[in-house]
Amino acid sequence: MKNDYESGSLKLRGAVAMGTGVMIGAGIFALTGQVAELAGPLFPLVFLVAAVVSAFSAYSYVKMSNAYPSAGGIAMFLKKAYGRSLMTGAGALLMLFSMIINESLVARTFGTYTLQLFDVSQSSQWVPILATK
How many residues are there in the chain? 133
Distance CA 56, CA 71 (A): 22
Q: Is the separation of the CB atoms in 91 and 80 below 8 Å?
A: no
> pTM score, two decimals?
0.58
Residue 5 within a domain: no
Instruction: Give a yes or no: residue 4 inside a domain.
Output: no
CA-only gyration radius of the chain, Å = 18
Count of domains forming the chain? 1
69 belongs to a structural domain: yes
Average pLDDT score, the chain: 78
For residue 26, tell me if it sits in a domain: yes
What pLDDT does 86 receive? 93
pLDDT at residue 63 in the model: 84
Question: For the segment 8-31, what is each residue's pLDDT rounded down to a tens digit?
Answer: 666 777 777 777 776 666 666 667
Sign of the alpha-carbon dihedral angle for 20, 26, 30, 35: negative
Domain that holds residue 55: 12-132
Has residue 7 been placed in a domain? no
pLDDT in tens, 52-76: 887 888 888 788 878 877 766 778 8
